[in-house]
Every structure is written in structure tokens, then in C-alpha cells.
Chain A
């Protein structure tokens, strides 16, 4: 379905990712101050320093799973006593460190001087980063970000900004480098432009048939995590959007005979992307949108781009700390998904109940019911795990997806 012959954007992505990891290792080896962060820690602040680099364990874990070594890494952590019930990203990351990253496609991440987590995606991540704090004897900065049941309140935003400023002071102290506001502001601007271009790309999924499939979008999200605050975001997503526009003209579409337009709720099943997209494509089904990809650059309760007035970069990045699904209560998640289903002309929804990411999965049973009742479209729940292939049964999942498509068919007939 996706890139049998590698697309231009696909080639560019490989180039960017390889270069990104190489630069990271090289700079760290030459003495750059290295920070490991959770995905929604605002990485733009590191651009405000001359020589600070950052690595993202979650993104590295997703890459390991995508390259087929997720289970191997998980088992290493389990062999040292970590439970199989823990997040598979955490197990991959911890497992990877047991043997000096010997199986990692990127030779792991350079050793950090500081780890930074937050607690609004989930509580587990702070505990996970605490393992690094203890094992490597390095400081751990935990950002306390209020969970949201409604749009971010002013007092919450100020609270977040005060912590971002504390983090900057801590890095100044630990690294001996001075923070430069202008360079930071420029980085925030690059991220903002990246989000705008990303949205231009995702908007193309409205086309019928769609030139966009979530299987591509999942993979192309990677630069948002590892190259935040850089101009390559805008450039890359422009290549992606231009190529998708071109594909509409030439008919080079991910699912040529698109009969079913589906929406996906949860993290990508990294270990299944190739197989799942191929099998769905043979059934005429395209996952045209996903909450996981749609939430980038948006805020609570809507998948529309959050329009920054380009004034205060601190305010913007504090707001963007809510730009994910896990920190949102049920009403906000429902309202975002409702808008996307309407906009994209969705025929059915796949709720992927994630075995080891409960924060994402916790509201799904109620969401499934609400969405089906409101839109009168069928929705199924399948069991997956984002990075541990042992917790997924292909036939089980495809029986349910098959039944979803048959239900769409019978609704069309009646």
C-alpha cells in the first residue's frame, strides 16, 4: 500500500533520520550536553543553547519495533525483571541499555547528562526515566503538566511556562551554557511552520480516493519528534504534501480501489505497518486518518491546526504540550474525533486497544459506542500493542476488521 517503490518523501525521510542520528552521536561525542526527553517536552528550548542535543527514547523504541527488533529488546528488559505489562516503549528502551545498544539500528542514543519527562501523557514515563536517573546517576527533571478535561486554563499555562523556564535555568547551570532567546524563538517558528505544512498534507486525505494513508503518516511523523525546531520540518512536509498532490493527478494512490475509508484510534502498530497496510489494501480499505497523526499541532477538542499568533513562543510551546491524545479527557477526545470523521467522510472506525499503553486506550469502549451511535457507522475494537508483536494476533484482528467492512457493505445495501 505505501512505498513499494520508495517515494521522494520516503527517500528524504530516510536521509533525514540517518543524518539526524549521526549528527546526534557526533555532537555528543564531541562534548555536547545531551538530554533525553519524553515526546511532548518542548525540544525547541535546546536550540536556544550553542551545544545541547537531545534524544527521544520513545521515538527510538518505535524505530526498533518498526525494524522488527521490538520483541528482542523487550525480552532483555523482562529478563532483568521488568513486567510484560509495562509500556513496550519502556521495555525496549530499558532492554536496549542492558547490552550497550548492540542491536539498535541507530546504535542507541548517546549517553545523557539529563533526562526530562512529563506526567500528562502518562505516569509511567516518569518512573521509566527514573530508572535512567538511578542507573546512570544523572538528574531527572519532571514536568508536572495538568491533565486536561477542558481547554488549557491561563493559570495552567503560566504554571507550565514557569517549569519551562526552570528547565532552561537548570540546563544553563548543568551545561555552563547561556540560553539565547532569539535562537529559541526561531526554533519555535520552525516547528510552527512544520505543523502548518503537516496539516496541509493531512488535509489531502479529504480527497476521494485519498492520496494519504495513515501508514505513511505514522512513519513521516518521526521528524516532529527528533528534529523539532528545525527548518527541515517545513521542507520535508512540503515534499510530502507536493508528492501527494502529484499522486492525485497521476492516480498513484495508496489504495487504488478505495472502497472503505477508515479512521484509526491509537498509536501506530509499528511492527505491523507493512503487513497490515498490504492486507487492508487488498480489501479495498484505506485508513485515511488517525487520531495519533491528526493531533500534531492541534489542541484540546479539535484536530484543526491551532493558529499561533506568532507572539509569545513560551505561550505557544506551553500550549503545544497538550497537543497529544493521552493528556485529554473523554469529551475532548470525542469532540476531536467527531470533527475528523465528519471532515474525512469516514465509513468505519478501528479502535486499537493497546495492551501496554492504557492511557491511550482507557476511554475507547465508550468512544466506540458514542461514535457508532452518533454517526451510525460501525466501529470495531482490535487488540494490538504499539511495539510488542507478541501481544498481537493478526487473524484475530483481521476477522474483526473483515466484519467491519462487511457491516459497512450491508449498511450500504440496506
Chain B
């Protein structure tokens, strides 16, 4: 049996192809303004890569903010359920998923079957999301990919009191002009996200073992900050960015 999971996020679209519960391949493209088009495109890319015809797929499941826009999907499932299923597939002992994506962050608690028992999400605000990090990287004129390594050199975390992205950006500009070391500033930024998402995790009732997914999980600084704040060790998913699509593909087998 072959299934495809497609996750249409606000910034990127991802597709995962599976055969008999084994990953055949995946791909990521940017979403653009037409969800249906990018959904088809990313699916075709992964089908071509894996030498599979669309007719051979038994089930196509869509998820993410654009899930309802894919007319060719057989079923639409929210990313909450899909992220839980994706994490469960990778390691069935996982009981919590911390997902930080471009526009939202969520903490999902799951049971031994990979079903969701509870979840909490950030409200309508960019604090504690990938977008927050992007804005800060721009203010510091740095590549976001270097944040993790640079922050590891910090001797202390600069204090960033504001949770609001816009206010935090001006705080950072003041810190730069006050001569604060940039590694300390970056550590401070990571602590700020850790505080915000950590509170979400506690609210949802975090249980170990914990897996982190979403683009931000590739930032080791944020992972370290969350680990120290929550007192747990965090597994970073090897399918970090495509975990939602992976879960969708897994749910196609049910």
C-alpha cells in the first residue's frame, strides 16, 4: 500500500511518500499563494523522485493550514493529529511533541497509540515562532542557520524582556548599540523563545520522552534553552520539517 502525506504550511509545502509504512521519499517547496498548485507540485516532485505514478497511490492525506484547499486529497486531518502520528511512527515511546514552525508553536501530548490526549498552541502572535527568529536574524544581519553555533559561545544571555516581536527587535537594536556581544544577544533570543514555548509545554502537561519537530528544531540553541528550562532531554526529529506530512502519510494506512 502506498500513501502520500502533504502538509501545506504558511511558508513551505512538504510531501512524504510511504510504502507499507516505510518512507520512500520526501520534498519541501515554498507554498506561494496557491496552495492547490504547490500541493500538486510537491507531490509530483516526490512521486518522480521515487519513480511512483500517482495512480499507484492508495491514499492522499492533506494537513496544515492549506489542508482544505487540496481538492485531490482523500482526507484532511489537522496538523495536531498528524504531528502526533509522525512522532509516534519515528519512536513509539514519545509522549510529547514540541513543534515550532514558521508561524506557530504547539505542544502535543500523546498516548501509547500515538493519539492526541492534549495540546496547547501559541495565540495570535509571532512570539515563540520561527518568524520571531527570522526578524531577529535580520536585525543582527546574520544567517539564521548560524544561530545555534554562535549562541554556544555565549558567556551569558542578554536579557530580552519583551515577548512582542516588534518590541523585541528594538530591544535588540538597543543592545547592539550598547555594545552587547552578539552571541549573548542570540542566547537571550533563544531564552526568550524557550520561556514562551516552555510555558506552553507546562500548560499542556509535558510528558517525557519529548520530540522536537518543525524548522526551528534545527536550531540547537533553542533546543538547549528548552531542555534547561523544562529539565528534560529533547530528541530532535530527523524528519523535523516534514513530520506533519510524515504523520499524514502514516494516517493514510489507517
- Whether the pair A403, B124 counts as a contact (CB closer than 8 A) is no
A383 at interface (Cβ–Cβ under 8 A)?
A: yes
A414 at interface (Cβ–Cβ under 8 A)?
A: yes
Per the bound structure, the CA–CA distance linking A380 and B121 in Å amounts to: 10
- Whether the pair B115, A400 counts as a contact (CB closer than 8 A) is no
Binary contact track A395-414/B, C-beta < 8 Å → 1, others 0: 11001101100110011011
Residue of A396, A400, A403 ringed by the most chain B CB atoms within 10 A = A403
Binary contact track B53-92/A, C-beta < 8 Å → 1, others 0: 0000000000001000000000001111100000000000
Name which residue of chain A comes closest to B81, CB basis: A406
- Whether the pair B80, A395 counts as a contact (CB closer than 8 A) is no
Q: A383 to nearest B CB, angstroms?
A: 5
The B101-157 residues at the A interface (CB cut-off 8 A) are: 111, 113, 115-121, 123-124
Which 3 A-B pairs give the minimum distances between C-beta atoms? A403-B80, A410-B115, A402-B78
- Whether the pair B80, A396 counts as a contact (CB closer than 8 A) is no
Per the bound structure, the CA–CA distance linking A399 and B77 in Å amounts to: 9
- Whether the pair A407, B115 counts as a contact (CB closer than 8 A) is yes
Show the binding face of B for A, using Cβ within 8 Å.
Answer: 65, 77-81, 111, 113, 115-121, 123-124, 203
**Neighbouring A residues of B123 by C-beta, 8 Å:** 353, 383
A403 in complex: contacting residue of B111, B116, B203, CB < 8 Å:
B116
Per the bound structure, the CA–CA distance linking A383 and B104 in Å amounts to: 14
* A414 and B121 contact, Cβ closer than 8 Å, known pairs A365-B203, A406-B77: no
B115 in complex: contacting residue of A372, A396, A411, CB < 8 Å:
A411
A interface, how many residues as a size bin?
20 to 34
The A361-412 residues at the B interface (CB cut-off 8 A) are: 365, 372, 378, 380-381, 383, 391, 393, 395-396, 399-400, 402-403, 406-407, 410-411
Name which residue of chain A comes closest to B251, CB basis: A406
Interchain Cβ contacts under 8 Å between A and B, 12 examples:
A383-B123, A395-B65, A396-B124, A400-B80, A402-B80, A406-B81, A406-B116, A407-B115, A407-B116, A410-B115, A414-B113, A414-B115
**Neighbouring A residues of B203 by C-beta, 8 Å:** 365
Per the bound structure, the CA–CA distance linking A391 and B117 in Å amounts to: 28
Per the bound structure, the CA–CA distance linking A396 and B78 in Å amounts to: 11
Per the bound structure, the CA–CA distance linking A393 and B111 in Å amounts to: 29
* A383 and B116 contact, Cβ closer than 8 Å, known pairs A365-B203, A403-B78: no
A407 in complex: contacting residue of B79, B113, B117, B124, CB < 8 Å:
B117
